[in-house]
Structure 1
Amino acid sequence: MAYDAEDTRRRIFDAAAAEFAEHGLAGARVDRIATAARANKQAIYLYYGSKEKLFTAILRAKLEEIHVSVNIDADAVAESAAQIFDWHQEHPELIRLLLWEALEACDEPGESERERRDGFREKVHQLVDGGVAHHLPEDARVHAAQDLLFTVMGLIAWNFAVPRMCRIVLDEKTDQAALARRRQTVIEVARRLAAAPE
């Protein structure tokens, strides 16, 4: 059977995403990634260069995945919040990766940060162009849309960052029951936040 480089890269990527989500950048081990991917360590370095570059590539790809999968609709912010919530429920690794990045990565802004900023600027401009904060002066609309987007992201992310706390605070028997309840709350809060004042 011929060597399939693309399949090997995919297996490395999937194994590394799981390893980094579980152990973070510092705790992840290249030999465990190689074993899980059924690849050798040399292939990891060949395709990605280093463990740090592999982590950055995975985080970039996961953020791009949510960027293209979920649209922020200015006319339906609550529905967009529901889609984002559901996406994170299906892909809990992204929140874990972002938490590990916050704990372990250096604060040096790089190419990855510029790409992310551009992606979020695009979402903010969709909100502004769609009429979010239309009651404000023109120069304040972008800041209002940025604050709305980040607040909704925070409302969603915290549920997946601390699922046990979510269950305990809400006094639910299971994580699933707590998340179902939180989903409804997030949708309603997003609806109220996006509504222009009378």
Structure 2
Amino acid sequence: MAYDAEDTRRRIFAAAAAEFAEHGLAGARVERIATAARANKQAIYLYYGSKEKLFAAVLRAKLEEAGAAIRVDPDAVAESVGQLFDWYQEHPELIRLLLWDALEAVEEDAESERERRDAFRRKVERLTGGDAARQLPEETRVRAAQDLLFTVMGLIAWNFAVPRMCRLVLDEETERAALDRRRRTVMEAARTLAAAGGLAGRG
């Protein structure tokens, strides 16, 4: 059977995503990634250059996956936030990767950082395109959308970063009940914040 480089890449990527989510950058082991991917260490270094670059590639791809899966509708912010909440619940590895990224202060090359910044700028641009937002001056509109986006990301992510605390604070018997309740609360908070910032109607 001929060597399939693209399939090897996919296996390495999937194994690396699981390894980094579980152990972070410092704790991850290239040997374990290679074993799980049924590949050799040389292939990992050939395709990605280093463990640090592989981590950055995994995180970037997961963020792009989330962005592609959910398009924030400026005229239906709360509904978009509900969909994003569901996506994070189905893909808990992204929250863990983001936490490891923050804890370990992973250095990112300039091109990768620029790509991520541009992706967030596109999201902000979509948020400022709603009917209600058009009455605001452009700078006010952009800053309001940036603040809304980051605040909503925090409102969503914290539930999955500390699920046990979520359950205990809400005094719910199960994590499922706590998350169902939080989903409704986060959606309503997003609706209120969008209206307060002039980015959505108050209806």
Identify which range, 185-194 or 10-19, moves more after superposition. Answer: 185-194
1:112 aligns to what?
A: 112
Structure 1 gaps, min length 5: none
Contact residue 34 and residue 41 of structure 2 kept, 8 A: yes
Q: Secondary structure at the match of 1:71?
A: coil
Aligned to 1:32: 32
**Residue type of the alignment partner of 2:147:** D
- Residues 110-164 of structure 1, C-alpha deviation per residue, up to 9 Å, x if partnerless? 2221111111111111111224544543321110111111111111011111111
What is the alpha-carbon distance in structure 1 between the residues aligned to residue 138 and residue 19 of structure 2? 45
**SS of corresponding position for 2:73:** coil
Cα distance in 2 for partners of 1:106, 1:8 equals 25
> In 1, distance between residues paired with 2:150 and 2:132?
14
User: Gapped runs of 5+ residues in structure 2?
Assistant: none
For the Cα contact (< 8 Å) 1:132–1:141, is it kept in 2?
A: no
C-alpha distance in 2, partners of 1:48/1:34? 13
**C-alpha distance in structure 2 between counterparts of 1:152 and 1:106, whole Å:** 24
Q: Does 1:95 align with 2:95?
A: yes
Q: Distance in 2 between matches of 1:132 and 1:175?
A: 36
**Greater mean deviation of Cα atoms: 1-10 or 17-26:** 1-10
Larger CA deviation: 52-61 vs 162-171: 162-171
Aligned residues: 198
Other structure's SS at 1:46 match: helix
Residues 150 and 191 of structure 1, relative CA distance in 2, 3 Å threshold: same
Q: RMSD over aligned Cα, in angstroms?
A: 1.7
Pairwise CA distance, 1:166: 0.8
- Secondary structure class of the residue paired with 1:59: helix
**Letter of the structure 1 residue corresponding to residue 87 of structure 2:** W
Question: Is the aligned partner of 1:165 residue 2:165?
Answer: yes
What TM-score do you get using the length of structure 2 for normalisation? 0.91
Which residue pairs with 1:181 in the alignment? 181
Distance 1:133 1:151 in 2: 18
Query: Equivalences for 1:117-136 in 2 at 5 Å?
Result: 117-131=117-131, 133-134=133-134, 136=136
Q: Secondary structure at the match of 1:129?
A: coil
Q: Is the 8 A contact 2:56 2:108 kept in 1?
A: no
Partners of 2:69 and 2:59 in 1: how far apart?
15
Q: Deviations over 1:71-117 (max 9, x none)?
A: 01110000000111011011111111111011113466622211111
CA distance in 2, matches of 1:108, 1:37: 25
Q: Alpha carbons of 1:20 and 1:147: their partners in 2 closer, same or farther (altered >3 Å)?
A: same
Quote how far apart the aligned CAs of 1:4 are.
Answer: 1.5
So what's the TM-score if we normalise by structure 1?
0.94
Quick one: distance in 2 between partners of 1:108 and 1:53? 8
1-structure distance, mates of 2:110, 2:131: 32
Structure-2 residue corresponding to 1:42:
42
